[in-house]
Chains A and B, each alone.
Chain A
């Protein structure tokens, strides 16, 4: 589904040049569950951002669904992104001024769904995430775990092919963390490709494959489980 060739990402300030990613070659097939691990500062989030087309590589190529997208315009990438990818962040990133329902609905608004379609879809997702009693609450009124559930709900409401999760359990206690991982697992079983960045080896074991990053390089890949197409 996605493939990168010799990906390089360099951050430049006035005097300092930091290489966040160097020579990253990876390929992720549709339906896979991949975890990316590594110490802080090794470039995990950067890699995830490039995979999600939120950022561009400084050099190298990136293929998304067969297209080489690193030179695409922002508009094209945004379109691909919104049609195919859902994001889950460590700090939830919900909009405080919107209710749970409205937060989940947001991607559908930008995709141009009609009011009735949106309503239907959001209701489905609310049920799926067991958030129905909370639909009119604001993020401030929810616990961390509930907020992340909302974020996940938002990520899947448009039925994306790929979900990118950047330390989704980072701000949650173990009980809620487990819950989110379980959710992701269920999504995976229904066919969504999942790439998750995580610190925790325990959570990483939910995946098919663990990619270890160190100082911007892929140092190893562990196959956890059989990936059958």
Chain B
């Protein structure tokens, strides 16, 4: 019995090869896309959860208030950790992290590396397995350091690194006491070197004012966040005094470890985090693509079933019970969707490498290990198979044999309503995707082209790590300027999107109640001219005024507005040393366009410089770069020449959005493709259904064009309806997404029209093939209808 069903199912497949293929391919693409996106989301949600005690780990951050504005900072002072352990019985352990970049040398290998330092308790709190070394001992000795497997290979090859000495430039020698497994990629921060916190930060151990470090705590199992919050203000008062507690409302709240990657967006994060919004977007996209594919599949399957009415009638005559017919159709449907699943899995595996390179991850499809995967896929197959199968199963099996035998079924009004709404939904979803893709593209191009208030083109950034080079920065600048293609060189610590930090500042006329902080960038005399930043009033730092070095300040307009000065020039200001305001610059975008331009102060302070910024001519760029490299190696033999282009660095601030743009572009194309598959199949079916009608019309004199219009009219109406549904949803989705940007385009009406027009044209193209084919068919054939 079952074999009979199976046989028929496959033969039906083979007979309607084209339709079956369209059907299954559409479903497979939808399932494959959904699968890949699901893996991505799953990976994002898994960050930091591999730690055994992850549920009990929290990070303390710094929060304070000035003039009603709340500021949050991920970096905290060194004494915080131990103090929390002391005061709160539920806080069992604290681990502090610090980080700096050093020139690591071992034998003849020298590289700049980021080095982290942590308290030895780090292994009691986090799960960082060691390949070599005892976790209880590795960081206890002074000047000990542990390295990752990757670093071991890089510096030591096959040698055993334990006991070897490496040198952290300008700091001291460290002895390697252990090797740890590489930190998994799904961590909110990763490191390759870990030294002992005491060695790095001892001098700040009782400095509550230096918030330079990250503090993580391990709480007890029955830790109560609310109770902790209640006692926190008293804690702050005890260690920092009444003024800090009441005036500045300083506090140290906790955030759970597992929430950091997706929800934390504090200043001073170790690494840029991701965004829960992106997760929502991708989940929604995955869901909708799957939905389109399933709707498609259901639609096409049910359309085809109408032509099997005769078979149903016959089977009934010959003795099939309703139950047997239902089983047959459900079985067929499940079988087909299972085939679709196999194809989907094959597609997913095929495109996994591409997806990984797009998303920047290393995902794998782990059928056995991933608990949700297999059940999830099975559920989808069951859902799709049963839904697609039950309509024909129940509807057809209920037919009167006589009616069924009479031939093709005129689709009942209920069924065609369903079909209509399925196509409308598919197109609505596709239109929303088109709309989003266009909007995202527009926003990105707006960002790329927006005037930043300075000239970011052809500006080369060269990082300075060598302290010696820093001291001779003036000489290096002059050497660079000898090249006629170089029109300006500046030394500063500016890098797109970053500032040196936030400093407490003092200004003339400040009241006692305030404790403001401001972004600041150390710059040299040539910063303003090299970058092309406009002065609004006053002057730039000048070599004519030696006191300008560390004694003069330039503010941006927003800073002046925040302070509230009418005439800022000449006023007193201080972040490090007291000085005078000598100039005000027009606001420029030193950070990404996600954020409003903040108040900024520029300060001439050479010890802090981190980059040379070189403005080069657009001609012969490779030659200029070669010149810079040669000059650099001549002048700074101890440091490798590295460079980046400022405009690219700026673009990198929008990496997440660019990724979104790419993925949306692909997904939209897929969605449209699937929707078109569906439309194509349905158009064919509809044309077939109306064969007799078309034949009659032709005999009566209808032209080919007339027939085409007749057949297309139905579908184009549906697409127009789809627009009406899609527009408000698309608008809502994009408005919300655009709010991530302080500087954004407005959603123009023309985008709606464009999306609508595109969808309409695509639908028309799809339908026209069938329409034309039906219209040219000979009426004699069509009327020989039984």
Complex interface residues of chain B between 240 and 265 (CB less than 8 A to chain A):
none
- A68-108 CB contact bits vs B (8 Å, 1 = yes)? 00000011001001100001010101111110001000110
Whether B310 contacts A93 by the Cβ 8 Å rule is yes
Task: Looking at the assembled complex, report how far the CB atom of A58 sits from the nearest CB atom of chain B, in whole angstroms.
Answer: 14
- CB-CB under 8 A from A223, the residues of chain B are none
Whether B318 contacts A78 by the Cβ 8 Å rule is no
Compute how far the CA of A78 lies from the CA of B318 in the bound complex, rounded to whole angstroms. 9
Interface segment, one of B285-293, B319-327, B444-452: B319-327
Quick one: which of B8, B12, B311, B317 contacts A54, CB cutoff 8 A?
A: B317
Whether B4 contacts A102 by the Cβ 8 Å rule is yes
Counting CB contacts under 8 A, is A55 at the interface?
yes
Counting CB contacts under 8 A, is A109 at the interface?
yes
Q: A97-B8, A102-B4 are in contact. Are A75 and B311 (CB under 8 A)?
A: no
- CB-CB under 8 A from A65, the residues of chain B are none
Task: Looking at the assembled complex, report how far the CB atom of B171 sits from the nearest CB atom of chain A, in whole angstroms.
Answer: 80
Whether B400 contacts A154 by the Cβ 8 Å rule is no
Task: Looking at the assembled complex, report how far the CB atom of B445 sits from the nearest CB atom of chain A, in whole angstroms.
Answer: 55
Quick one: which of B12, B310, B318 contacts A154, CB cutoff 8 A?
A: B318
Q: How many residues of B contact A (CB 8 A)?
A: 25
Whether B15 contacts A78 by the Cβ 8 Å rule is no
Whether A97 contacts B314 by the Cβ 8 Å rule is no
Which residue of chain A is the closest to B313 with respect to CB atoms? A93
Which residue of chain B is the closest to A74 with respect to CB atoms? B322
Counting CB contacts under 8 A, is B72 at the interface?
no
Whether A110 contacts B402 by the Cβ 8 Å rule is no
- CB-CB under 8 A from A97, the residues of chain B are 7-8, 11-12, 15, 311
- A101-126 CB contact bits vs B (8 Å, 1 = yes)? 01000110111000000000000000
Counting CB contacts under 8 A, is B626 at the interface?
no
Whether B311 contacts A95 by the Cβ 8 Å rule is yes
Compute how far the CA of A215 lies from the CA of B316 in the bound complex, rounded to whole angstroms. 29
Q: Is the interface of B mostly helix, strand, loop or mixed?
A: helix
Task: Looking at the assembled complex, report how far the CB atom of A88 sits from the nearest CB atom of chain B, in whole angstroms.
Answer: 11
- B281-319 CB contact bits vs A (8 Å, 1 = yes)? 000000000000000000000000000001101111111
Whether A75 contacts B12 by the Cβ 8 Å rule is no
Counting CB contacts under 8 A, is A23 at the interface?
no
Compute how far the CA of A55 lies from the CA of B401 in the bound complex, rounded to whole angstroms. 8
Whether A78 contacts B316 by the Cβ 8 Å rule is yes
Whether A91 contacts B786 by the Cβ 8 Å rule is yes
Compute how far the CA of A129 lies from the CA of B607 in the bound complex, rounded to whole angstroms. 106
- CB-CB under 8 A from B18, the residues of chain A are none
Which residue of chain B is the closest to A108 with respect to CB atoms? B319
- CB-CB under 8 A from A54, the residues of chain B are 317, 400-402
- CB-CB under 8 A from A74, the residues of chain B are 322
Compute how far the CA of A106 lies from the CA of B8 in the bound complex, rounded to whole angstroms. 12
Whether B318 contacts A55 by the Cβ 8 Å rule is no
Whether B318 contacts A107 by the Cβ 8 Å rule is yes
- CB-CB under 8 A from B315, the residues of chain A are 95, 106, 110
Counting CB contacts under 8 A, is B694 at the interface?
no
Most buried by B among A89, A98, A110, A111: A110
- CB-CB under 8 A from B12, the residues of chain A are 97
Counting CB contacts under 8 A, is A49 at the interface?
yes
Compute how far the CA of A111 lies from the CA of B319 in the bound complex, rounded to whole angstroms. 7
Quick one: which of B7, B321, B786 contacts A110, CB cutoff 8 A?
A: B321
Whether B319 contacts A82 by the Cβ 8 Å rule is yes
Which residue of chain B is the closest to A98 with respect to CB atoms? B8
Which residue of chain A is the closest to B1 with respect to CB atoms? A109
Whether A107 contacts B319 by the Cβ 8 Å rule is yes
Which residue of chain A is the closest to B407 with respect to CB atoms? A91
Compute how far the CA of A78 lies from the CA of B325 in the bound complex, rounded to whole angstroms. 13
Quick one: which of B317, B320, B322 contacts A87, CB cutoff 8 A?
A: B317
Counting CB contacts under 8 A, is B334 at the interface?
no
Task: Looking at the assembled complex, report how far the CB atom of B260 sits from the nearest CB atom of chain A, in whole angstroms.
Answer: 59
Compute how far the CA of A94 lies from the CA of B15 in the bound complex, rounded to whole angstroms. 16
Compute how far the CA of A91 lies from the CA of B784 in the bound complex, rounded to whole angstroms. 14
Compute how far the CA of A52 lies from the CA of B316 in the bound complex, rounded to whole angstroms. 12
Quick one: which of B7, B310, B313, B319 contacts A102, CB cutoff 8 A?
A: B7
Which residue of chain A is the closest to B786 with respect to CB atoms? A91
Q: A82-B319, A95-B314 are in contact. Are A49 and B402 (CB under 8 A)?
A: yes
Whether A81 contacts B8 by the Cβ 8 Å rule is no
Whether A110 contacts B319 by the Cβ 8 Å rule is yes
Whether A93 contacts B319 by the Cβ 8 Å rule is no
Whether A55 contacts B402 by the Cβ 8 Å rule is yes
Which residue of chain A is the closest to B11 with respect to CB atoms? A97
- CB-CB under 8 A from A75, the residues of chain B are 321-322
Whether A82 contacts B318 by the Cβ 8 Å rule is yes
Task: Looking at the assembled complex, report how far the CB atom of B283 sits from the nearest CB atom of chain A, in whole angstroms.
Answer: 41
Compute how far the CA of A93 lies from the CA of B309 in the bound complex, rounded to whole angstroms. 11
Quick one: which of A78, A91, A94, A106 contacts B321, CB cutoff 8 A?
A: A78
Whether B4 contacts A109 by the Cβ 8 Å rule is yes
Compute how far the CA of A70 lies from the CA of B72 in the bound complex, rounded to whole angstroms. 83
Whether B405 contacts A93 by the Cβ 8 Å rule is yes
- CB-CB under 8 A from B319, the residues of chain A are 78, 81-82, 106-107, 110-111
- A191-227 CB contact bits vs B (8 Å, 1 = yes)? 0000000000000000000000000000000000000
Cross-chain pairs A/B with CB under 8 angstroms, 17 sampled:
A54-B400, A54-B402, A55-B400, A74-B322, A78-B321, A81-B317, A93-B314, A93-B317, A96-B15, A97-B7, A97-B12, A98-B11, A102-B7, A106-B318, A107-B319, A110-B318, A111-B319
Closest 5 CB pairs of A and B: A82-B319, A110-B319, A97-B11, A107-B318, A93-B314
Write the residues of chain B forming the contact surface with A, with a CB cutoff of 8 angstroms: 1, 4, 7-8, 11-12, 15, 310-311, 313-322, 324, 400-402, 405, 786
